[in-house]
Amino acid sequence: MQKTRSLYLAGLALAMCGYAVETKFWQQYEAADYEKATLHDVSLRSDGRLTLAPVFREIYDTSAAYLWAVAEDSRGNLYVGGGSAGASRAKVFQVEPNGKGKALAELEGLEIHAIAVDKQDRVYAATSPDGKVYRVGSDGKAAVFYDPKAKYIWGMAFDSKGDLFVATGDEGKVHKVGADGKGVVFFQTEDTHARSLAVDGKDNLIVGTEPGGLILRVSAAGEGFVVYQSSKREITAVAVAKDGTVYAAGVGNKTPAALPAPAVTPMPKPSPVASASTSAAARPQPALLPPTLSPSASIAGGSEVYRIEPDGAPHEAWRHSSDVVYAIGFDGHGKVLLGTGNRGRIYRLESDRVYTQVVDSTSTQITGMLGSRRGGVYVVSANIGKLFRLGPELDKEGTVESEVFDAGAFSYWGRARLEGKGLTGVSLETRSGNLDRPQKNWSKWEAVRLSPDTGRSGAPAARFLQYRLKLTALADGGSPEVSLVELAYLTKNVAPEVREVETTPANYRFPNPVASTSTTPPSLTLPALGQRRSSSGGISLDSSSNTLNYAKGYIGARWRADDENGDTLEYRVEIRGVGEKEWKLLKDKVKERNLSWDSTGFADGEYQVRVTASDAPDNPPAQALSSSLESDTFTIDNTPPQITELSATEQGGKILLKFKAKDARSVIEKAEYAVNGGSWIPLQPVTRLSDSLELEYAVTVERPAGAGEVILAVRAADEFENQTVSKTKAP
């Protein structure tokens, strides 16, 4: 089965509302899926493919806090340099081909940012601050070879004629030094720092600057040409491929044009402890630098890598929002390698769209890379300062331990499946637990027997799952490739839960599913479920409110229910009078979460409703589950009040109207009177408060002018809008 097919099925399963009886699939096939995984000796491609990583082996631990430069002589001896916080002298270390290392020389300076070896295997090391170039003999004796009168020396490189070029700051100059140690300013940049340097096959210099973020090509005659102006502040590294293609790394956000650009020390040289801050405001200024030149390792804006074609055409080859590129190199196949911080990762560019996270170093920053004459790539690091060798051979085996997968509920684990190439070199294990982190109280790792790429997980049923892949080199030395890991699971059905039931005001009903176009009947809007209704009835609503239509004699209920499995629910609504034993069905298989019914068919009294939620629509009958919840007691009252002791008597030329209103169950809410069929006029009870089942009313009425017979009508209504009317004749 192809990945596209499996992804379609997985999408279909998700689209079907997450039915409890539907098997779901946990799939990992994108690079982001492995962001929280633990990879050991496994490379991750940006399209999600897993392969064995090149061997990444520590050769020598210098005990320095950081290394920034590495060079190799014709005999295979390596020379590295860097610095340490609090150290008073910089050291050059020599590492022999057998891995035996030593401190070759101590120099008058605090840090070494550049090392170069000439055709006679003589070693040159540049110190900062107050930069000087030293020549170091095989016996470790060192002498000043050239003094550029510059604060910093960032890079050195020899051309084919044996001339040494020295990139400096803080005046942005490149010096040219002959074999006799005499030098001149060869090229003056317009920036503060000539930050990075390389020489191409035609003896052109490739120079990266800071803070303008320029990439320049300087001819052998000293003529400069900007081949690209980066959007980044600093070009931390430049490198030239065999075909003349230039690669350059830009980091840091530029200072806004409206503000003057301060003369700051370039950023990417990592400090002994990498800062967690990425604020540009945190960048140290030269006057604030500690004695050991150690700017912050955190830079706002991440990195961009540019590819400049031999004809000068620029392209963006790679970018990362947080990783900072400190070094560029090439592997044995000519592919570009990027050394980054602050997670110590090495990336390999496969194309403009695809790259591979090759290895994760134990050090925080990868600061330098050098292709070895004997194959592989030498790598130096900071925090801690070590020398490594990358490749060219692959590791014999590697592992991927996934993040913890949360199925959301207790689940059964089923088929496991892999997609890729050379899967005979891949094994799979799973384990499970009910704790969200795999500690002691999880199950043991159990091997999945793949045949050839499919098997069944033996992990016990639980909420959480984790898998572990083991990749083993194939017989031909190549690597298997995993492009998809898929694990099936079935969540155990859990009963739905009715969390709240609430009855609605009398004489209103929920609208029919097909809304009426008539706007004549009045309507009432309810507050969110669980909130009290104001006495006025007119309130503001939130998104969970419901609107009801006026319907005399109707009453209703609404409820909140949910299902942990995400099942579709249906409801059974029943009613029972207080003191009764049996529940009577109002309606079954209700799809909505509300119901209205005509209460006039029920005797006045106190009642409760019971709502039962069932997940039967999404489960076989034998597996369907349900739960119920009863409402608070509510009143059904369809009987109007009684009007008694109605009288109209003469009193000083006026009419004294008196009566009593009484209801068996609910409060008398209002009373009114009318004279000779005129408008209804509100009345207050004698007590002024409409708060009782029985109230007395008295009002003096003006006799209509010229009227003979006077007819007085009174009406009273209870809180359920049941009303009665009575009339009398005035004397």
User: String of b and e for 525-553 (b: at least 16 CB within 10 Å)?
Assistant: ebbebeeeeeeeeeeeeeeeebebbebeb
Q: Tell me what the mean pLDDT of segment 118-133 comes to.
A: 94
**Residue 519: what pLDDT?**
53
**Residue 195: what pLDDT?**
96
Per-residue pLDDT reduced to its tens digit, 527-574? 777 555 443 333 332 334 578 999 999 999 999 999 988 889 999 999
**Residue 709: what pLDDT?**
87
pTM, rounded to two decimals: 0.72
If phi over 0 gives left and psi between -120 and 50 gives alpha, with beta otherwise, what is residue 688?
Answer: left
User: With respect to CATH, is domain 3-53+398-491 assigned 3.30.40?
Assistant: no
- CA 354 – CA 45 distance, rounded (Å): 7
Query: Please, is 520 exposed, middle or buried when counting C-beta atoms within 10 Å of its C-beta (0-12, 13-18, 19+)?
Result: exposed
The average confidence (pLDDT) of the chain is 87
What is 618-666 written as a DSSP string? GS-TTT--EEEEEPPPEEE--PPPEEEEEEEEEETTEEEEEEEEE-SSS
Domains 3-53+398-491 and 497-514+548-636 share a fold: no
Share of the chain above pLDDT 90, in %: 76
Label residue 516 by pLDDT band (50, 70, 90).
Answer: very low
pLDDT exceeds 70 at position 154:
yes
Q: How many CA atoms lie within 13 A of 436 on its CB side?
A: 4
Per-residue pLDDT reduced to its tens digit, 358-386? 999 989 999 999 998 888 999 999 999 99
CATH topology of domain 497-514+548-636: Immunoglobulin-like (2.60.40)
Higher-pLDDT residue of 702 and 6 is: 702
> Residue 674's Cα: distance from chain center in Å?
70
CATH topology of domain 55-394: Neuraminidase (2.120.10)
Q: Which CATH architecture has domain 642-729?
A: Sandwich (2.60)
How many other C-beta atoms are found inside a 10 Å radius of the C-beta of residue 592? 12
Label residue 256 by pLDDT band (50, 70, 90).
Answer: low
Question: Is the Cβ–Cβ distance between 391 and 375 less than 8 Å?
Answer: yes
**Residue 331: what pLDDT?**
94
Identify the three-state secondary structure at position 155: strand
**Phi then psi dihedrals of residue 132, to 5 deg:** -140, 150
Least confident of 300-314, 515-529, 567-581: 515-529
pLDDT exceeds 70 at position 587:
yes
- Ranges of each domain in the chain: 3-53+398-491, 55-394, 497-514+548-636, 642-729
